[in-house]
C-alpha cells in the first residue's frame, strides 16, 4: 500500500486538494494522510472580523485569535475525516504546529507522494504563482509532488514532458512506479527542440516506455521548451502533466524561472513534479 500525503492550510481548506488526493487514493488503494499545517505569522480573516466588532486589548485579542483559528482548523480536519470515511479510504490525520514548510518537508521523507494546492501560500499577501511556499516545497520535497489547480477534474489523459535530461526521465519513472494503474490511459510524450526533430535517446526511451505504456503517442515540436506552455494552456482539464524540475542549484532557481514555474502560472491542469 502506498502512502499519499495531502497538505492543508487548516484556515483555508482546499477542496481540490481533498478531491484529487481522494481520487488518487481510491485509484491506487493508498493510505491517505491529511497534514494540517500552521504558521505562527499567519492570522485568519475570521479574527479580523471579530476584532473589528469588539473592543479587545492585550492578551484578549490573542486568546480570541487562538480560539477562532482552533475552530477553523478543527472544521477542516473534520471535513477531511468525513470525506475519507464516506469514500472508505484508509486515512490518518496529522496536526503539525511548528514551522509549516519545515514540517511538511519532513513529512515528505516518509511519503510516496505529496498533493498540494498550487495556491497554498500560508499568506494573504501573495497573488502570483508559484509562491514562495510552493517553490521551496518543490525544491526540497523528498518525494514527488502533485500540484493541483483550484478546480478538480478526474484524470483522463497523461502528458509526459521530455527534454532528454535525467530529471525528465526520473519524473516519468516515478509516476509509473506510483501509479501503474494509469498506464492504460491516453498518454502523450511531448518534446520541444530548436534544431532537429529527433527524440534524444530515441531507441532507449521507447524501449522503456513501450514496456509500460501501450497508448503512448510521441510528439516532437520545433521551438523552445517554454513554448510547450502555450500548447498546454489549451489542454483538456482532465489532463495531468508529468515533469522533472528544479535540477539546478538552489541559488540559480531564484534567478531563473523553470518550466515548472511557467506551467503552474499559465495552465490549469495538475502537475506531477519529481526531481533527482
Domain locations in the chain?
3-148, 157-274
Q: How confident is the model at residue 253, as a pLDDT?
A: 39
Instruction: Give the C-alpha separation, 140 to 118, whole Å.
Output: 16
Q: How confident is the model at residue 106, as a pLDDT?
A: 95
CATH number of 3-148: 3.40.50.620
Do 157-274 and 3-148 fall under one CATH topology?
yes
| Inter-residue contact 184 to 211 (CB < 8 Å) | no
The cell for 200 is: 534524444
CATH number of 157-274: 3.40.50.620
The whole-model pTM stands at 0.87
Instruction: Give the C-alpha separation, 182 to 154, whole Å.
Output: 12
Q: How confident is the model at residue 264, as a pLDDT?
A: 83
Instruction: Give the C-alpha separation, 122 to 175, whole Å.
Output: 28
Q: How confident is the model at residue 41, as a pLDDT?
A: 54
List helix spans (H) across the chain: 15-28, 45-53, 59-86, 100-108, 132-140, 166-178, 202-209, 227-232, 250-255, 259-266
Instruction: Give the C-alpha separation, 276 to 262, whole Å.
Output: 20
Instruction: Give the C-alpha separation, 179 to 92, whole Å.
Output: 21
pLDDT by residue for the chain (276 residues), tens only, comes to: 899 999 999 888 999 999 999 999 999 999 999 999 876 555 554 445 555 555 555 556 666 666 777 788 899 999 999 999 999 999 999 997 778 889 999 999 999 999 999 988 776 555 666 778 888 898 899 999 999 999 999 999 999 999 888 989 999 999 999 999 999 999 999 998 888 888 999 999 999 999 999 889 999 988 887 788 888 888 888 999 999 865 544 433 333 456 777 888 888 899 999 977
Q: How confident is the model at residue 185, as a pLDDT?
A: 94
Within 10 angstroms of residue 41's Cβ, the number of other Cβ atoms is 8
Instruction: Give the C-alpha separation, 140 to 209, whole Å.
Output: 28
Q: How confident is the model at residue 256, as a pLDDT?
A: 44
Amino acid at each position: 500500500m502506498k502512502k499519499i500525503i495531502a497538505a492543508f492550510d487548516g484556515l483555508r481548506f482546499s477542496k481540490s486538494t481533498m478531491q484529487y488526493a481522494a481520487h488518487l487514493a481510491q485509484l491506487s488503494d493508498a493510505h491517505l494522510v491529511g497534514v494540517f499545517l500552521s504558521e505562527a505569522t499567519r492570522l485568519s480573516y475570521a479574527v479580523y472580523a471579530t476584532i473589528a466588532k469588539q473592543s479587545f486589548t492585550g492578551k484578549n485579542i490573542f486568546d480570541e485569535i487562538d480560539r477562532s483559528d482552533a475552530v477553523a482548523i478543527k472544521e477542516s480536519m473534520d471535513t477531511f475525516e468525513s470525506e475519507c470515511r464516506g469514500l472508505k479510504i484508509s486515512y490518518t490525520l496529522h496536526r503539525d504546529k511548528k514551522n509549516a514548510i519545515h514540517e511538511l518537508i519532513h513529512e515528505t521523507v516518509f511519503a510516496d507522494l505529496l498533493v498540494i494546492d498550487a495556491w497554498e501560500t500560508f499568506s494573504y499577501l501573495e497573488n502570483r504563482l508559484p509562491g514562495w511556499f510552493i517553490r521551496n516545497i518543490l525544491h526540497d520535497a523528498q518525494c514527488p509532488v502533485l500540484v493541483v489547480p483550484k478546480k478538480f477534474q478526474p484524470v483522463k489523459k497523461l502528458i509526459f514532458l521530455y527534454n532528454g535530461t535525467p530529471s525528465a526521465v526520473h519524473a516519468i519513472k516515478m509516476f509509473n512506479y506510483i501509479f501503474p494503474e494509469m498506464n492504460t490511459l491516453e498518454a502523450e510524450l511531448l518534446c520541444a527542440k530548436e534544431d532537429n526533430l529527433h527524440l534524444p535517446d530515441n531507441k532507449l526511451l521507447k524501449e522503456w516506455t513501450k514496456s509500460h505504456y501501450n497508448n503512448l503517442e510521441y510528439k516532437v515540436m520545433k521551438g523552445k521548451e517554454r513554448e510547450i506552455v502555450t500548447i498546454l494552456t489549451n489542454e483538456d482539464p482532465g489532463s495531468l502533466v508529468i515533469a522533472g524540475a528544479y535540477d539546478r542549484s538552489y541559488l540559480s532557481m531564484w534567478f531563473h524561472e523553470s518550466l515548472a514555474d511557467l506551467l503552474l502560472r499559465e495552465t490549469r491542469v495538475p502537475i506531477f513534479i519529481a526531481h533527482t
